[in-house]
Amino acid sequence: MVGYAFMGAAHSQGWRTAGRVFDLPVQPVMAAICGRDPDAVRGAADRLGWGAAETDWRVLIARDDVQLVDICTPGDSHAEIAIAALEAGKHVLCEKPLANTVAEAEAMVAAAERARARGQLAMVGFNYRRTPAIALARRMVAQGRLGTLRHVRVSYLQDWIVDPEFPLVWRLRKEQAGSGALGDLGSHIVDLAQYLSGEHLVGVSALTETFVRERPLPAGAVAGLSASAGGDSGGGVPRGRVTVDDAALFTGRLASGALASFEATRFAAGRKNALSIELNGDRGSLAFDLERLNELHFHDHTEPASSAGFRRILATEPDHPYLEAWWPPGHGLGYEHTFVHQAADAMRSIASGALPEPSFADGLQVQRVLAAVEESAEKNSVYTPVTPLP
């Protein structure tokens, strides 16, 4: 694994646990973790359960005991590491969004296609697909339970930068993160909208905003979503420019003609990690809320109006996706389990040779939607087509 901050810890939890819960055809072995600071990466290796620590990712991918490289770094290094790892014959799992630009994502897809011919995996880490209730929703849509889809309504709301004195961490710098709430949160909900509907977005109309344009520079390294500003030596804390969006709102058209709406923001005070989805079809609707992630709400519109209405399905039963290996019925799962499921699915794809989902091509498709959103926002919401995959 390259990177060991918040996402590195989450992915490590997945690798540590997957083979102990699921009956996997091949087992993950946590060979080595990589980061630039020798003491910090050694500490992370011990804490997270990795066998060795490296300070240069090129050395990591050259190791004979490394067969898969898991990339958990900021987006500006995804393409370089992923392409080098694939060319070195390694499988790759890359954290979302796949890249910072469409051009990088295209180069990654080309490398993934060459690698696929050699039997290598290239998968992107849209972990929420692996929430049992979301995977169940996908199954129900594919079974036709919603009929013809009319609407997809998704939002992903956080509030960790509402305070204008929250420092200028890497996630607020375009050169490292590519974009702000759009790439970080918007990429998840675009992926989920397309995954759940089974369709691609064909065009979007968008607004983006950066509410706080300057912030104090951070004190030292930052992991996760908390940080403090640099020390004040009398002259005030130095400040820098925020170069990404704080919020992105957009509407979109799916290939079938269904309409979708999206909201991604880090300025929804009181909303910590609130991802909600609703799908409406002519035969029914589904609703999901990440803050109650074991529940899926279903309305069957074919039932008599006198008794129809949303009912709660607890996605905790043995025949629900991923639940066969967990606790007895009704004993719920949490955020971290999505990473366990991701690790298990990666192992299964490697063993079967099946194209992993989501693939790098899926990641590129999302990247093209994000680019269309940015283009539309620059043109004051002009409807902008999404370049289709070949």
Query: What is the contact surface with ligand SOE in residues (CB under 6 A)?
Result: 6, 158, 184-185, 225, 273
Measured from the CB atom, the residue of 131 and 349 that comes closer to ligand SOE is 131
Least distance between ligand SOE and beta carbon 127 (Å): 7
Q: Which of 264, 260, 259, 269 is nearest to 183 (CA)?
A: 264
The three-point CA angle 265-184-314 to 5° equals 80
Least distance between ligand SOE and beta carbon 248 (Å): 13
Angle, to 10 degrees, between the axis of helix 360-378 and the axis of helix 102-116? Answer: 170
| Interatomic CA distance for residues 288 and 240, integer angstroms | 38
Q: What is the 3-state secondary structure (H, E, C) of 111-146?
A: HHHHHHCCCCCEEEECHHHHCHHHHHHHHHHHCCCC
What is the CA 141 to chain-centroid distance, rounded? Answer: 21
Number of H helices, E strands in the chain: 11, 16
Measured from the CB atom, the residue of 218 and 284 that comes closer to ligand SOE is 218
Least distance between ligand SOE and beta carbon 117 (Å): 30
Q: Which residues make Cβ contacts (< 8 Å) with residue 92, sequence separation at least 6?
A: 68, 69, 70, 71, 82, 85, 86, 112, 115, 120, 121, 122, 123
Least distance between ligand SOE and beta carbon 249 (Å): 17
Least distance between ligand SOE and beta carbon 185 (Å): 6
What is the CA 285 to chain-centroid distance, rounded? Answer: 24
Spatial contact of 297 and 312, defined as CB atoms under 8 Å apart: yes
Residue that the structure tokens 């359960």 belong to: 49
Measured from the CB atom, the residue of 75 and 284 that comes closer to ligand SOE is 75
Element (H, E) at 229: none
Measured from the CB atom, the residue of 190 and 350 that comes closer to ligand SOE is 190
Measured from the CB atom, the residue of 5 and 44 that comes closer to ligand SOE is 5
Measured from the CB atom, the residue of 32 and 123 that comes closer to ligand SOE is 123
Least distance between ligand SOE and beta carbon 363 (Å): 13
Measured from the CB atom, the residue of 158 and 285 that comes closer to ligand SOE is 158
| Interatomic CA distance for residues 92 and 83, integer angstroms | 9
Closest residue to ligand SOE, based on beta-carbon distance: 184
| Interatomic CA distance for residues 243 and 168, integer angstroms | 10
Measured from the CB atom, the residue of 280 and 367 that comes closer to ligand SOE is 367
Measured from the CB atom, the residue of 225 and 229 that comes closer to ligand SOE is 225
Q: Which of 258, 262, 166, 146 is nearest to 214 (CA)?
A: 166
Q: Which residues make Cβ contacts (< 8 Å) with residue 23, sequence separation at least 6?
A: 325
Measured from the CB atom, the residue of 101 and 273 that comes closer to ligand SOE is 273
Least distance between ligand SOE and beta carbon 224 (Å): 8
Least distance between ligand SOE and beta carbon 156 (Å): 8
| Interatomic CA distance for residues 61 and 21, integer angstroms | 28
Least distance between ligand SOE and beta carbon 13 (Å): 13
Least distance between ligand SOE and beta carbon 95 (Å): 8
First to last CA, the chain: 31
Q: Based on C-alpha coordinates, what's the Rg of the chain?
A: 21
